[in-house]
Structure 1
Amino acid sequence: MRMEIQYGLLVLAVLLSLWRGGQPERTGVAIMVGALLADRLFHALLRGSIYHEVDVWHLLLDGAMLAGIIALALSANRKWPMWLAALQVIATMSHALRAIDTEMLNIVYPVLSRAPFYPQLGVLIIACLLANRTRRARGVSDTL
């Protein structure tokens, strides 16, 4: 059920970014879609998740997402990418927390690394819905 909700929200974000979003919104959605597709492909071809130690694959994926989102935040004429980046920092730092505290409850690491994805989708959906209004009010272009 969790994956169906995640996919549904992601499809909604894609459609809204194409319909109402500008280039920054489309780039943000592309980062999220790319990460999800890379993760699904990795798990389909290689292995499941590791939560009893640092999961190097998810560390690398979260780090790549963070780099992309920070680049978006620095180049976009929008404020919402900073919220996206802040949420991605939580996911990325969960791996450091796991490395530091190997005795943490087994549920904490997966929750910290996965949970930010949902509010990130919410930020993107709201950003897409408000993109036209923001551009008209500021008289800014769709470019990054």
Structure 2
Amino acid sequence: MLRIILFNIFYLGSSGFALVRGGVPERLAAVILVADFQLSHWVIKPLALRYSGVEGTMLAVDLAAFVALYAMSLFSTRYWPMWMAVFQGCAVAGHVNGLRADVIPFAYGNYVAVWSYLLLAILIAGTMRHCRRKRRYGRDPSWRWELPDTYRDGGPADAADISASPTSIFGHEEKPVTGEQG
């Protein structure tokens, strides 16, 4: 019971942190994880039957979360969504253990659940890195199409000014607003 309470504190804290302080990918990942964890609680079998065979509905929920995280990793400018997709894929692969006739329910359940802690830790680290980049550059592009063309085309990162205003990324150069009107 203590493990469940500690996980829920970690889960609510990390998701809340990402929702409040994160950029769009961090918030999207938090929503995906909240949906994954909540749906998993709703579809899990009763305690007597839990993890005695393949948890088909839980497999479907975990697979949907994997697909969502994988899709996000393809378009995000961050590296951590790729790692989240990999760890969620490990949780999905863990459901293969349920196909074995001699599966130990405790081992199967723990194998599927342990990846959740890593997902939340990555979400916290990703949100902290977003906050650091936002402080350093003034903005943090979330998606690949928001990056300057020079950066997307393989140019050096130094040549790409990610601190530029979002309008300059799309080719509309605007002068910065200064105190002088003239």
> In the TM superposition, what are the counterparts of 1:1-12 in structure 2 within 5 Å?
1-12=2-13
Deviates more, 1:17-26 or 1:112-121: 17-26
What is the one-letter code of the residue matched to 2:29? G
**Shift of residue 138 of structure 1?**
9.6
Q: Is the 8 A contact 1:73 1:82 kept in 2?
A: yes
Report matched runs for 1:1-144 at 5 Å.
1-43=2-44, 47-48=46-47, 50-99=50-99, 101-135=100-134, 136=136, 140-143=140-143
The alpha-carbon deviation at position 108 of structure 1 amounts to 1.9
Within 1, Cα distance between the matches of 2:108 and 2:75?
31
Q: Using the alignment, how far apart are the partners of 2:92 and 2:10 within structure 1?
A: 22
**Displacement of 1:104 after TM fit?**
3.4
Alpha-carbon distance in structure 2 between the residues aligned to 1:53 and 1:19: 39
Q: Using the aligned pairs only, state the percent identity.
A: 23
Larger RCO, structures 1/2 (Cα 8 Å, 6+ apart): 1
Q: Distance in 1 between matches of 2:138 and 2:101?
A: 49
Q: 1:36 to 1:106 in 2, by over 3 A?
A: closer
Count of residue pairs brought into register by the alignment: 141
Please tell me the root mean square deviation across aligned C-alpha atoms, in Å: 2.2
Q: TM-score, normalised by structure 1?
A: 0.85
Unaligned runs of at least 5 residues, structure 1: none
Rounded to whole Å, the distance in 2 between the matches of 1:24 and 1:121 is 14
Report the Cα distance in structure 1 between the residues aligned to 2:107 and 2:43, rounded to whole angstroms.
23
Superposition TM-score, scaled by structure 2 size? 0.69
Deviation, 1:2, is 1.9
In 2, Cα distance between equivalents of 1:19 and 1:139: 16
Q: What 5-or-longer segments of structure 2 have no aligned partner?
A: 145-182
CA deviations on 1:84-139 (whole Å, 9 max, x unpaired) are 1111111100112321x322333221111111001111110111111122344596
Contact 1:80 1:127 (C-alpha < 8 Å) held by counterparts = yes
| CA drift at 1:60 | 0.6
Structure whose alpha-carbon radius of gyration is higher: 2
Q: Distance in 2 between matches of 1:118 and 1:91?
A: 11
Give the helix-richer structure, 1 or 2.
Answer: 1
